[in-house]
Structure 1
Amino acid sequence: MTTPNELRLLPWSGPGGKPCYLSTDDPNGYMSRLADGIEAVQLGRAKELLDEASEALDDQDTSLDGMRSLVKELTAALRDVYRVATSRGHLRATSDPRESAY
């Protein structure tokens, strides 16, 4: 089992929007793989939204309502990406630097 400073921040929230954490010593366990998969989907969606935003900014006919909707989706995606970055940064900070593949 991991120590409290090695908990993984999961890519979803719990009741009341509180963060969820995973305590495991198996990075290939079911919950770790599930979290990895959800993070991949979230990052992929963020990339798609960036492409949509670029197109919308170039399109002079984009409506104000369309832009507001896009900004709302971008905000949610940015929140997800920030959570992934926080989680991965924490995992990197707590891992043994001698195990790094850099």
Structure 2
Amino acid sequence: MTAPEETPTVAGRASLRLLPWTTPDGRPCYLSTDRRDSRLSLLADDVEAAQLDSGAQVLAGARAVLADAGAGERAVRFALTRAVESLGEALRIAESRGERG
């Protein structure tokens, strides 16, 4: 996997956008374009928005599970698993947006 400090560059400058998905083997995907309105850029924006919306729903569900004193181990594990997935997606989006300035 490419570390954040090893972001691929074009012509010596970091101009690649980290996309909100990975390759089948888990490596990061990048888009080389200066156009924020390209078809793939807009698709990436839509995926990011869907991921953030899903994260908000996961957060609400996890809070409900944690507030339920009778929630079993399976419910807590499921909520935590989804919360970890959503946090990973949110951090990837934050990293991507930070690189774009």
RMSD: 1.3
Cα distance between partner residues in 2 of 1:11 and 1:25: 17
- Using the TM superposition, give the Cα deviation of residue 26 of structure 1 relative to its aligned residue in structure 2, in angstroms: 1.1
TM-score by length of 1: 0.84
User: SS of the counterpart of 1:71?
Assistant: helix
Kindly tell me the number of residue pairs found equivalent between the two proteins.
91
Task: Give CA deviations for 1:40-79 in whole Å, capped at 9, x if unaligned.
Answer: 0000011111111111111111111111011111111111
Q: Please, which runs of 5 or more residues in structure 1 have no aligned partner?
A: 93-102
Larger helix proportion of the pair: 1
Cα contact 2:55–2:87 (8 A) shared by 1: yes
Structure 2 alignment gaps of length 5 or more = 1-8
Alpha-carbon distance, 1:80 to partner:
0.5
SS of the equivalent of 1:16 reads coil
Q: Secondary structure at the match of 1:60?
A: coil
Larger RCO (CA within 8 A; separation ≥ 6): 1
TM-score (norm 2): 0.85
The partner residue of 2:15 within 6, 10, 22 is 6
Q: Identity percentage over the alignment? A: 38
